[in-house]
Amino acid sequence: MLPLQGIRVLDLSRLLAGPFSTTILGDLGADILKVEALPKGDLYREAAPFHGGESVSFLAVNRNKRSIGIDFRKEGGLDLVREMADKADVVVENFKPGTMEKMGLSYETLSARNPRLIYASVSGFGRTGPYGHLPGVDQIAQGMSGFMSITGQIETGPTRVGVPIGDLVAGMWTAIGVQSAIIARNSTGRGQRVDTSLLGGLIGLLSVQGQRYLSVGEVPEVAGNHHPVSSPYGVFHGSDGPFNFSASTQAMWVKLCKHIGMEWLLSDERFTNSSLRRDNRVELERIIDERLKQRPRDEWIKEFRELGMPAGPIYNLAEVFADPHVASTGMVETIDHPTIGALRQLASPLKLECFAEGSVRRPPPRLGEHTQEVLSELGFDPARIDRLMHSGVL
């Protein structure tokens, strides 16, 4: 049995942050009812590139869901959504704050009808505060969270992370919040509001860098491809390309110096302990890099691993998915899609016994594919469903 089996989620979200959260919940067994606004559905359905006529962006974050198409603009559309919320355990939405209220779908409205309802919202800046009314997207949140200020090369300055980490992290926090609220409801019998934001989600990930500022007033700067407080740790170069390794403990430091034939570094007063290596890391890493350039990267990686030091290549995505370890850990699963055929998808990184048959159980849905099926399951009268379909609400 899957952990969230029996939990019904009314997913009103679109694009990335909200759908990523419901993908996580769906992987864990929740029944995700993805309500899409007709006539076009989730905005991600129109995002290039396309695979077999389907948006790759949409495919990425909409597995394990069923799609219900509703025209919110037509009479009876929003009434239907409210009635569906009456029968749901969770509602997830990522509209700009205030939009749900304008549609008559506020937390207060829906929870008054269904006190057990968990109502999860994710937005750019959250519901409150001076920026609560502003639209927010990933790169704005990356910049305002401080993430860009500590990412990139010294020569080029602040750099965005290569994936929309603000959206993805907000989605993860939302999924954690929903599951926490489900556990709380088991004790209290009542649902609650769950609220997070792209900005808050990223600030919550600052971890050591954030604590450095809060505790000792240090403002971390762009660290490039080397660890900001530990050395040697980062990107180095073999004769045929770059790779990563870490020799950050004293024991590893000693092993490294002996193995690469640079024992003299052990007695150099600039590098005798971790604090000194940190203070002089630019020069230390230059010295080590010159030595490592004399041999191929894969030889160094193999030898460093044998010494118990973390080391690995820097892959592009083709190399990631060709790696035998990645293949053996089941990070890619294949499912049959009605228009694409065999569709490969990223699997859940969670390894649970209940995932014995995989985490990707249902392909991303076509727009409105499950409308009649879901409404019938929820107990709506067949004659009413027919009327709504003929009037264009469905």
What's 121's domain CATH number? 3.40.50.10540
The predicted-structure confidence for 198-213, as pLDDT tens digits, reads as follows 999 999 999 999 999 9
Q: What is the pLDDT of residue 236?
A: 97
pLDDT-derived band at 185 (thresholds 50, 70, 90) equals very high
**Does residue 213 lie in a domain region?**
no
What's 296's domain CATH number? 3.30.1540.10
Q: What is the pLDDT of residue 164?
A: 97
Q: How far apart are CA 102 and CA 106, in angstroms?
A: 8
Q: What is the pLDDT of residue 18?
A: 98
Name which of 356, 393, 394 is nearest 75 in CA terms: 393
Domain count, the chain: 2
**Does residue 214 lie in a domain region?**
no
Q: Of 262, 291, 315, at which residue does a domain stop?
A: 315
- Check pLDDT > 90 for residue 138: yes
Same domain, 154 and 241: no
Residue 233 has phi, psi (to 5 degrees) of -160, 110
Average pLDDT over residues 363-369: 98
Same domain, 261 and 351: no
- Asked whether the beta carbons of 89 and 116 are under 8 A apart, the reply is yes
What are 387's two structure tokens? 């009327």
Q: How high does pLDDT run on average in the chain?
A: 96
- Asked whether the beta carbons of 143 and 216 are under 8 A apart, the reply is no
Catalytically annotated residue among 11, 27, 167, 195:
167
Average pLDDT over residues 290-294: 97
- Check pLDDT > 90 for residue 356: no
Q: How far apart are CA 74 and CA 76, in angstroms?
A: 6
Q: Which domain holds residue 242?
A: 233-315
Same domain, 265 and 167: no
The answer to whether 167 is a known catalytic residue is yes
**What residues have CB less than 8 Å from 363, skipping those under 6 apart?**
63, 335, 336, 337, 338, 340, 343
- Check pLDDT > 90 for residue 126: yes
Same domain, 92 and 27: yes
Beta bridge partners of 335: 343
Q: Of 269, 293, 315, at which residue does a domain stop?
A: 315
